[in-house]
């Protein structure tokens, strides 16, 4: 889920930049068109695989390919793929019973042997007036341990205008698992954050779209993503749209395969923290394309994702707001509570929608 550049990665980055500066950078690298007079997003079609880094223009698209020990934090995040989901706790909180198309048994071992039907949906993400809406799970007392925050249900608020997921200060104490859960207590972090995970099953190829407002706070991340868990090492995959406060004028579009991350930083031509914009990812068997405000800005035809039509492969759709915990200057940076800040550190979401792909069988 999150981009990481280790010390080794920084050394490799420096060597790569030195190499590009001393040679013809067009040789063997994908071409990224740009227009210095055009403030709109740059579009690229990237077919070259195994490029560690491509910087075709100073203000153009940046590609980064990294391998991380253990892969994405989300591959084992108990909020997404547990042996025991806190689903009973959430049902009690909402007073709702699961519908036939929700997670009756969310563990991978309990999945249907054939993929479930893929259905379109439109969700304004407004006016629920419920602490936990029935078609989402709001994790509590869990989250990736490498972050500086822990999920708290109170940080997800649905209003008549949007869903707001805030960052708040925490006492740093461990957080017990909800009643009836077998999870160990979370060791606690200095901040609280939030996430909402769709209960719906049968997520597949098609176009996913959401309106978002991020922040310009270093270390704060606003995201929509799809993720597939796999019990086979290296076979899980993830597709991300992420906005970071370190540079709110760019978006990160990322695909994970196991422990390998293919990330692209794409200029937006605006400040994503200043107002509403629409972000989309179209996911097909032979390509993944990202769009901003209805205009395609990046298309990848060189990346692998787990096939959602494969039996026992299940994808989740999630929205979240969280704090990065690493001191680096390329991706998000480390989150510190802003001095003298009176307004909340908050991501906003509305108009989540999905249009299934039409595939030839």
Quickly state the pLDDT bin for 125 (edges 50, 70, 90).
very high
Q: Where are the domains of the chain?
A: 7-25+55-356
Whether the pLDDT of residue 97 is over 50: the answer is no
Instruction: Give yes or no for a contact between 276 and 212, defined as CB atoms under 8 angstroms apart.
Output: yes
**Predicted pLDDT at 236:** 76
The answer to whether 238 is a known catalytic residue is yes
Of 256 and 17, more confident:
256
pLDDT > 90: percent of the chain: 41
**Predicted pLDDT at 204:** 92
Quickly state the pLDDT bin for 359 (edges 50, 70, 90).
low
For 323-330, what is the mean pLDDT? 91
Q: Shortest CA distance to 298 belongs to which of 277, 273, 281, 285? A: 281
The answer to whether 326 is a known catalytic residue is no
Two tokens, residue 12: 């490799």
Among residues 195, 242, 314, 326, the one annotated as catalytic is: 242
Of 269 and 24, more confident:
269
Whether the pLDDT of residue 251 is over 70: the answer is yes
For 324-348, what is the mean pLDDT? 91
Rg (CA), the chain: 20
Q: Model confidence over 201-237: pLDDT tens digits?
A: 678 999 999 999 999 999 999 999 998 876 666 667 8
**Predicted pLDDT at 241:** 98
For 317-346, what is the mean pLDDT? 92
Mean residue pLDDT across the chain:
74
3-state SS record for the chain: CCCCCCHHHHHHHHHHHHHHHHCCCCCCCCCCCCCCCCCCCCCEEECCCCCCEEECCCCCCEEEEEECCCCCHHHHCCCCCCCCCCHHHHHHHHCCCCCCCCCCCCCHHHCCCCCCCCCCEEECCCCCCCCCCCCEECCCCCCCCCCCEEECHHHEEECCCCEEEEEEECCCCCECCCCCCCCCCECCCCEEEEEEEECCCCCCCEEEEEEEECCCCCCEEEEEEEEECCCCCCCCEEEEEEEECCCCCEEEEEEEECCEEEEEEEECCCCCCCCCEEEEEEEECCEEEEEECCEEEEEECCCCCCCCCCCCCCEEEEEEEEECCCCCCCCCCCCCCCCCCCCCEEEEEEEEEEEECCCCC
Among residues 84, 195, 238, 282, the one annotated as catalytic is: 238
Q: Model confidence over 54-86: pLDDT tens digits?
A: 334 446 788 887 765 545 554 444 445 443 333
Residue keyed to tokens 């076979």:
235
Quickly state the pLDDT bin for 185 (edges 50, 70, 90).
confident
Two tokens, residue 85: 């989901």
Q: Shortest CA distance to 238 belongs to which of 230, 224, 226, 251? A: 226
For 91-100, what is the mean pLDDT? 34
**Predicted pLDDT at 99:** 36
Distances in Å between the Cα of 127 and the Cα atoms of 120, 133, 158, 252 are: 21, 10, 6, 30
Classify domain 7-25+55-356 by CATH number.
2.60.120.200
Residues whose CB is less than 8 angstroms from the CB of residue 101 and which lie 6 or more positions away in sequence, other chains included = 116, 119, 200, 201, 202
- pTM exceeds 0.85: no
For 28-51, what is the mean pLDDT? 37
């Amino acid at each position: 889920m999150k981009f990481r550049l280790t010390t080794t990665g920084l050394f490799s980055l420096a060597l790569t930049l030195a190499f590009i500066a001393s040679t013809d950078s067009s040789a063997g690298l994908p071409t990224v068109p740009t227009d210095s007079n055009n403030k709109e997003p740059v579009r690229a079609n990237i077919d070259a695989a195994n490029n560690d880094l491509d910087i075709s223009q100073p203000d153009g698209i940046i590609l980064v390919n990294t391998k991380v020990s253990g892969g994405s934090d989300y591959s084992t995040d108990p909020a997404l793929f547990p042996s025991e989901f806190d689903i009973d706790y959430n049902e009690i909180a909402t007073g709702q019973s699961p519908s036939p198309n929700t997670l009756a048994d969310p563990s991978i071992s309990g999945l249907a042997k054939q993929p479930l039907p893929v259905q379109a949906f439109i969700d304004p993400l407004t006016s629920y007036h419920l602490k936990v809406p029935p078609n989402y799970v709001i994790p509590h007392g869990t989250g990736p341990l490498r972050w500086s925050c822990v999920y708290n249900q109170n940080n997800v608020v649905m209003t008549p205008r949007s869903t707001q997921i805030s960052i708040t200060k925490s006492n740093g104490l461990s957080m017990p698992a909800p009643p009836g859960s077998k999870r160990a207590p979370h060791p606690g972090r200095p901040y609280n954050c939030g996430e909402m995970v769709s209960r719906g099953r049968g997520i597949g190829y098609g176009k996913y779209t959401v309106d978002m407002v991020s922040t310009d706070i270093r270390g704060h991340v606003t995201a929509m993503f799809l993720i597939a868990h796999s019990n086979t090492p290296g076979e899980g995959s993830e597709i991300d749209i992420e906005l970071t406060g370190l540079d709110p004028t760019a978006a990160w579009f990322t695909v994970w395969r196991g422990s390998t991350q293919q990330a692209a930083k794409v200029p937006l031509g605006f400040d994503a923290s200043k107002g509403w914009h629409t972000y989309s990812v179209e996911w097909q068997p032979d390509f993944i394309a990202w769009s901003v405000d209805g205009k395609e800005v990046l298309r990848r035809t060189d990346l692998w994702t787990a096939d959602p039509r494969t039996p026992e492969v299940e994808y989740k759709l999630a929205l979240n707001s969280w704090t990065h915990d690493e001191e680096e200057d390329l991706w998000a940076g480390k989150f510190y509570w802003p001095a003298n800040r009176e307004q909340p550190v908050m991501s906003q979401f509305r108009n989540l929608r999905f249009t299934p792909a039409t595939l030839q069988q």
